Each structure stands twice: as structure tokens, then as C-alpha cells.
Amino acid sequence: MKPRCSTRQNHALTKVEVIVIIGVVAVLFGLLLFGANAARKKAQRITCVNHLMQFGLAFRLWSGDNTNLYPMSLSTNLGGTKEYIITGQTFRHFQVMSNELSTPLILVCPSDTRRPAADFGSNFGNTNLSYFVGVDAEESNPQAVLTGDRNITGGTRSPNGLVEFTGGQPVGWSSELHDGVGNVGMADGSVQQFSIAGLQQAFQQSSLATNRLAIP
């Protein structure tokens, strides 16, 4: 009996086909990672905006119990933080609102490498903050810059961490937190995401000759 002959052929992949398949898989994997990274950054920006909105509410609640002034405008003798402006202790402006803020966890942006403090006690400091404070902001001036991401650049910096922006001085963002843009909380309680040009315009529209920021 003669053996049966098969006309079927074994088709092995050529080197070119293997390279093409590997390339396609690599591209698809790269797209997947890019999409996941973009989604993560978007979620971090949304969380940061939510933090700033909570700060705006906290400032308003605090001022309602303290002669309608933000803590930076009220002396420490009256429970405020005015005297701390020149000390560089930015955290004091948040610490005084511990009841309104409830937790220091919201004082660190999820895009930041800094870590939040466990509580508002003696171990709480500037290194547990991701946000600056506009020390001259008042509820009566809704266009004033109240809070924002700490990675702001430009202005005239003093040794105590206070930064002054006057007139048309250059201002911007480093790429440290949100890739060249930043989030800012206004004195009216709103939160805006500003490009460099938008941030410059916000300072010009603040009705303040000089915008002073306490940056941690």
C-alpha cells in the first residue's frame, strides 16, 4: 500500500512578517500606554481643580465667621495670619482654616511629588503644600487671584518665598505639575485653568497694582 501524499504545505512566518507583527504590537501597546497616561493626567487635573474649589469655599466660610475678611487680611491677634505673610510660612494660611478644610490631604495636588501631612499639627509645613496663596485677595475683589498651583514662574522673589508680580512682568508655569498650564482659584470661588497668556491676563485684570503670592 502506497503512503498517502499530502499536498498541504507548512507556511512558516518569514523574518519580515515577524518584524511587521512585532512592530504592529509595539505600536498598539504604545497607543494604549499613551491613552492611559492621558486619562491619568486628566483625572489628576480634575482632582486638582476640585481641591481649589474646596479652598475657595473654605476661605468664604472662614471669612463669614471673621468680619468678612480672609485670614491674610486679619491680624494673628484676631485669629488671622496677616503677620505670617512676611515669614514665608504659606502653610499658616491653610492651617488656620483646618476646621473648614477638614483634612490636609487636599493640600497636595495628585500630580505633585510632595506628600500630605497626617494632620494640621506641628508636623504640617510648606513641604506638605502644592498651592500658593494670593495674600492680598479679598472677597470684595472677585477677580483677584486667591490660590493656585505652586509651580508658577517669574515675578520678583524675596528670600521669604513671597513673589510679587507687577505690571507686565513675565509670568508662567513650569512643566512640573500640569505640562505648562496651571489651575488657579479666584476670589469669587471659581477655578480656571490658565495657559501662560491666560495667567498674565488674570493678573492684569485683578485690580491690584501688585499681585503678591505666598509660594510654599
Q: How far apart are CA 193 and CA 202, in angstroms?
A: 11
The per-residue pLDDT for 39 is 67
Q: Specify the pLDDT at position 37.
A: 60
Confidence of residue 22 (pLDDT cuts 50, 70, 90): confident
Summarised one tens digit per residue, pLDDT across range 130-173 is 999 999 999 999 999 999 999 999 999 888 879 999 877 889 99
pLDDT digits (tens, 9 = 90+) for 28-85: 656 555 555 666 767 878 899 999 999 999 999 999 999 999 999 999 999 999 999 9
Average pLDDT, the chain: 87
C-alpha span between 63 and 195 (Å, rounded): 30
Pick the closest to residue 97 from 144, 141, 129 (CA basis).
Answer: 129
Average pLDDT, stretch 1-25? 62
Sheet holding 156-157, edge to edge: 156-157, 162-166, 210-214, 131-134, 145-149, 182-186, 191-194
pLDDT at residue 44 in the model = 76
Q: Is the model more confident about 160 or about 112?
A: 112
pTM higher than 0.95 for the full model? no
pLDDT more than 70, % of the chain: 82
Averaged pLDDT for residues 6-34: 62
Return the pLDDT at 28: 62
Measured CA to CA, the distance from residue 186 to residue 58 in angstroms comes to 13
Show the cell assigned to 72.
491674610
Is the confidence at residue 24, as pLDDT, over 90?
no
Residues ≥6 apart with Cβ < 8 Å to 86: 160, 162
Is pLDDT of 10 > 60? Answer: no
